Homo-oligomer: A and B are copies of this chain.
Amino acid sequence: MDTGAPKFRRRKADRPAEIVQAALKVFAEKGFAAAKLDDIAREAGVSKGAIYLYFETKEDIFRAVVGQAIAPNIGMVKAMAAAHPGPLADLLRSVTSHVAGVVSQTPLGGVLKMVVGEARNFPEIARVWHDELVSQALGAMTAAISAAQARGEVKPGDPRVYALQLISPMLVAVLWKETFVPIGAEPFDLAAVMRQHVDTLLCGMLTEGART
């Protein structure tokens, strides 16, 4: 009867993950400084003291939250970087739709907001986020675009800026959701935005040798 009556809680293995998840929720809502450890504890169904069995300080929890959000996405970036040899249009369509899916089904948006908001207070966290995620992803896209340019597929122009142009609407849509939708503003449909955006932008980026 292991699944019968759990009676009282007493575990260990999954506590840290539970705490991190609770912390993510509270941090994303209040920001780092305004988040109270008691809130995190309550959200995790645990006492404040218990948190200190698994984490040294509040900053530690924050680091864990950001780290946890980064980890599973590094693989994604790597896969992206494994330069798809097909035409750029196909690559971009698949990458953006994949990323849009991930972003809308994970709390990545909330973490992004936190990183932006706390970058000045936690430079190392901003650096990790940048070096391990943002820079990698941007670099991979830049490389892919650059290669396509060499192939004569893409018009002249700064490839890094092209990459920025491509991902920006997604980021803004996510921040919009985090910032203005709770206020009652009209949301954006992430997938629809990216579909229209890639179509439009590709049309402007590609040379004559391109069609879907």
Contact = CB atoms under 8 A, between A and B. Distances in A.
A120 B182 contact: yes
A127 B183 contact: yes
Interface string A86-127: 000000000000000000000000000101111111010011
Given A172-B171, A188-B161, A183 B119 contact: yes
Contacts of A184: 127
Q: How many copies does the complex hold?
A: 2
Given A119-B178, A178-B116, A200-B157, A130 B165 contact: no
Interface string A178-209: 11101111101000110011011111110000
A16 to B, nearest CB: 25
Interface stretch (A1-9, A27-35, A54-62, A69-77): A27-35
Contacts of A80: none
Nearest to A205: B200
B200 A123 contact: no
Nearest to A124: B183
A205 B196 CA distance: 10
A175 interface: yes
Contact of A33 (B31, B119, B164, B168): B31
A169 interface: yes
A34 B31 CA distance: 10
Given A31-B117, A32-B33, A199-B204, 15 more contacts: A30-B121, A32-B34, A34-B121, A113-B117, A120-B182, A126-B179, A126-B182, A160-B188, A162-B200, A164-B193, A167-B172, A168-B169, A171-B172, A171-B175, A204-B205
Closest 10 CB pairs between A and B?
A117-B117, A33-B33, A203-B204, A200-B204, A168-B168, A204-B204, A168-B172, A33-B34, A168-B169, A119-B179
